[in-house]
Structure formats: structure tokens, C-alpha cells
Amino acid sequence: MTGNSPDLSTPQDPLPTPASRLRNFVIALVAISLSVSIFLGFNTESGSSLLTTMAEEAVPLETAIANGKPTLLEFYANWCTSCQAMAPDLNELKQQHGDRVNFVMLNVDNSKWLPEILNYRVDGIPHFVFLDASGNAIAQAIGEHPKSVMDANLVALADNQPLPYAKTTGQTSAFSAPVTADSASKTDPRSHGSQVQ
């Protein structure tokens, strides 16, 4: 009987040493932090998808011009890294000021907005145009701007005050309209100058 029974006299595993406890604790912390990072990574919107969502929720241009509120026009593109970088801040600013200011987004890749692109001379994005309650352009800002600058401009816009950071330029993504105002007028058959040589 003794041949088949386990030897109970062998010592158990020794107690864990402080070094092995520390190692196990560090491994557990790393595993937890990686899990949280992966979870948050899957649950946050990328800049491009946030821009798409914001554009879908934006006030249509026709409505903004007619409703008697001041307006922030943003010319953007989903591929624009500066637009993507500003999207979270602009989304928060929309939540804060959306009841007093229209937020309109015009995608420069949509030829529907070509007249507006030419009218406001958009040559870099993001390109912001601040319109008063009557729909008149009162200021422009081009490129990536800090949230505090945009916030100060929106507060002034809503209060019908001069914008503190009018005509500012930050980092932009290059953009050129498929036509220019000069070439459009020369080839337009309705233009009187096109018929006289």
C-alpha cells in the first residue's frame, strides 16, 4: 500500500518572497491598465467619425441664415488632421453655445459648397467664418486654434461684441478649390466679359 500512495512528507511550496509578490503586483497593474486602454480605445470616436457625426447634427446653412442667430461656419474635410484635432473641442463648444449660436459645417469635398468656398476664399482648412445675426461675415479664422480662443470668439459673437481673435491663423491642412473665382467668370457664358475679346 505504501508503494502507490503519495508521499505526504514532501514540503509544500515555500511562501512567496517579497520580490515575487512585487513582480505579481506589477504584472496585475500592467494587465489592468492595458485592459482599460483597450476598452477606452474601442469606445472613443476617431476624429474623422466625430466630424461626420457633428456634420450630421449641424444646423443646415439655409436655416442658419434665416433664423436670426449668429453663426459659426466651419469649412472642413474628414481627412483634415487639424479638423480632426479640433473636433472634440468644437463639439464641447457646441454643447455650451449651441442655444445662442448656429454651428454649420460645410465639407470642402462636396461640390455643393463650391460657391461658399469661393465666396469666403477658403484656401486652408479648417476655415471658420463668423456671421452676425443678419448673416454678414464679420470675421474669419483659419487653422487649428485653442479651445479658449474659439470660446472667446463665440461668446463675443453671441453677445454681438467685437471678436477678440478675429482674422487669426493656426495650423491648416492645404486645400485648393477646383476652380477660382477668376476662371469661373471667364468661362461662364452668362458673363458679359466672356463674349467680348
Site of grid cell 477658403 = 122
CA distance 131 to 138: 6
Model confidence pLDDT, tens digit, residues 5-40: 555 555 565 677 888 888 888 888 888 888 777 766
From the CB of residue 63, how many other CB atoms can be counted at a distance below 10 Å? 13
Assigned architecture for domain 47-184: 3-Layer(aba) Sandwich (3.40)
Site of grid cell 461640390 = 111
Name the active-site residue from 50, 80, 108, 154. Answer: 80
Q: What is the pLDDT of residue 184?
A: 46
Name the active-site residue from 51, 64, 73, 83. Answer: 83
Is 0.85 surpassed by the pTM of this model? no
Q: Is 59 among the catalytic positions?
A: no
Q: Is 161 among the catalytic positions?
A: no
Amino acid at position 127, single letter? H
pLDDT at 148 over 70: yes
